[in-house]
C-alpha cells in the first residue's frame, strides 16, 4: 500500500553505484571509506567524481562546468545510484564540493544522498537506521529505499515521528480516533517494512524540536547509526530543513531521499 502520491517510479532494488564526489580536499575524501564499505554490502561499485581540473584530485570521472549543474546532470544519467559525500555544514560555494553543493544535492538529486556532516565519524555500515517520518511527497520513496537497503546492510529500522500537537489537536484526535492530517501512519509504514523482511520498530516522540528528539533517540540505538529523512524542495536553501540541520549536528551520516 502506498502512503504518498508520487508519479516517479520507485526502484526497490539496492544501488549498483556509490558515487563519491571529490574536490581535492582531505575532508571531501573522508567520505570515501564509508562509500567503499557500503558498496561492499550492496555488491555495488564505487565511482569517484570531480568537477573541473584540480590537479591534486584523482577521480574516475571528471566533469566540467558549474559543480552543482554538472553533478546533477551526471546523477540524472546514473542508474540505481547513491551519493556519499562530506559537508562542513556551511554555505559558500567557492567551487568546492562542500557546503552549498551538498545542500543542492540533498535538495535536488534524483538518487538518495548520504552526507557526512562536520560532527560525523567515519563509522562502518549501520546496525540501526533511524528514519524520521514527517509528511513529504517523497516519503514513499524513502520507505522503498529503507525496505531495499536494510536487509543488505543487516540493519534494523527504527521509525520515529516527532510531534508537538496543540491541545485542540490532541482533543480532536482522541475524540475522533483519526490521525492528524500531517502525521504519517507510522503503524502502517512499520507493517509494510516488516512484511518486506526488515526488522522494524516504531516510536512516537513528543517535543518541539524534531532534530533534538531524533538525536536523543539515536543515542540509545545500537551503533553505528544511519539517520534517514525525506526532504522537501520548497526553495533553493535547505539550512532550515530537518535534513540539513541533522547534517550539521549529527555524529552519524544522514541519508536524505528526495527524488526530484
- The Cα 136–Cα 119 span in angstroms is 26
For residue range 2-46, what is the model confidence (pLDDT) as tens digits?
Answer: 443 333 334 568 899 999 999 888 888 999 999 999 999 999 999
Domains 17-116 and 128-253 share a fold: yes
**177-221: pLDDT as tens digits:** 655 555 678 889 999 899 888 999 999 888 888 899 999 999 999
More reliable by pLDDT, 47 or 119: 47
Q: Are 96 and 222 in contact (CB under 8 A)?
A: no
Residue 260 has pLDDT above 60, yes or no: no
Q: Where are the domains of the chain?
A: 17-116, 128-253
Q: Are 111 and 75 in contact (CB under 8 A)?
A: yes
Of the candidates 127, 145, 128, the one whose C-alpha atom is nearest the C-alpha of residue 136 is: 145
Contact 206, 170 (CB under 8 A): no
The fold of the 128-253 domain, in CATH, is Rossmann fold (3.40.50)
Q: Count other C-beta atoms under 10 Å from residue 152's C-beta.
A: 16
Q: Is the pLDDT of residue 254 over 50?
A: yes
In sequence order, the 6+-apart residues with CB closer than 8 A to the CB of 158 are: 128, 129, 130, 131, 200, 201, 202, 203, 217, 221
Edge-first strand order for the sheet with 113-116 is 61-63, 45-51, 17-21, 81-86, 113-116, 254-257, 225-230, 128-132, 156-163, 200-206
Q: What would the CATH number be for the domain defined by 17-116? A: 3.40.50.620
Report residue 173's pLDDT band, with 50, 70 and 90 as the boundaries. low
pLDDT at residue 107, as a whole number: 83
Could you read off the pLDDT of 125-141 as tens digits, one per residue?
999 999 998 877 778 88
Predicted confidence at residue 84, as pLDDT, reads 96
Q: Check residue 178 and give its pLDDT.
A: 59
Distance from C-alpha of 38 to C-alpha of 15, rounded to nearest angstrom:
10
Looking at residue 82, what is its pLDDT? 96
What is the arithmetic mean of pLDDT over 80-109?
A: 72
pTM comes to: 0.83
- DSSP letters of 170-227? HHHHHHH-PPPTTS--HHHHHHHHHHTT--EEEEEEE-S-HHHHHHHHHTTSPSSEEE
The per-residue pLDDT for 11 is 53
Q: Is the pLDDT of residue 234 over 60?
A: no
Amino acid at each position: 500500500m502506498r502512503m504518498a502520491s508520487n508519479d516517479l517510479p520507485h526502484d526497490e532494488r539496492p544501488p549498483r553505484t556509490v558515487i563519491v564526489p571529490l574536490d581535492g580536499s582531505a575532508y571531501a575524501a573522508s567520505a570515501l571509506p564509508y562509500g567503499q564499505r557500503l558498496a561492499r554490502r550492496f555488491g555495488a561499485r564505487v565511482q569517484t567524481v570531480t568537477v573541473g581540473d584540480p590537479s591534486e584530485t584523482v577521480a574516475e570521472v571528471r566533469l566540467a562546468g558549474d559543480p552543482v549543474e554538472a553533478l546533477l546532470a551526471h546523477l540524472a544519467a546514473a542508474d540505481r545510484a547513491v551519493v556519499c559525500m562530506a559537508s562542513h555544514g556551511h554555505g559558500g560555494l567557492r567551487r568546492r564540493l562542500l557546503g552549498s553543493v551538498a545542500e543542492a544535492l540533498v535538495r535536488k538529486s534524483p538518487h538518495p544522498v548520504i552526507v557526512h556532516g562536520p560532527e560525523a565519524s567515519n563509522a562502518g555500515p549501520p546496525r540501526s537506521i533511524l528514519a524520521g517520518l514527517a509528511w513529504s511527497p517523497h516519503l514513499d520513496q524513502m520507505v522503498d529505499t529503507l525496505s531495499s537497503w536494510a536487509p543488505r546492510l543487516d540493519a534494523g529500522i527504527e521509525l520515529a515521528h516527532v510531534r508537538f500537537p496543540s491541545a485542540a489537536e490532541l482533543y480532536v484526535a482522541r475524540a475522533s480516533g483519526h490521525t492528524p492530517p500531517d502525521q504519517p501512519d507510522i503503524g502502517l509504514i512499520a507493517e509494510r517494512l516488516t512484511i518486506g523482511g526488515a526488522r522494524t520498530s516504531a516510536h512516537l516522540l513528543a517535543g518541539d524540536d524534531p532534530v533534538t528528539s531524533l538525536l536523543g533517540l539515536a543515542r540509545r540505538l545500537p551503533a553505528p547509526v544511519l539517520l534517514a529523512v525525506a526532504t522537501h524542495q520548497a526553495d533553493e536553501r535547505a539550512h532550515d530543513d530537518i535534513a540539513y540541520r541533522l547534517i550539521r549536528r549529527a555524529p552519524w551520516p544522514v541519508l536524505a531521499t528526495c527524488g526530484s
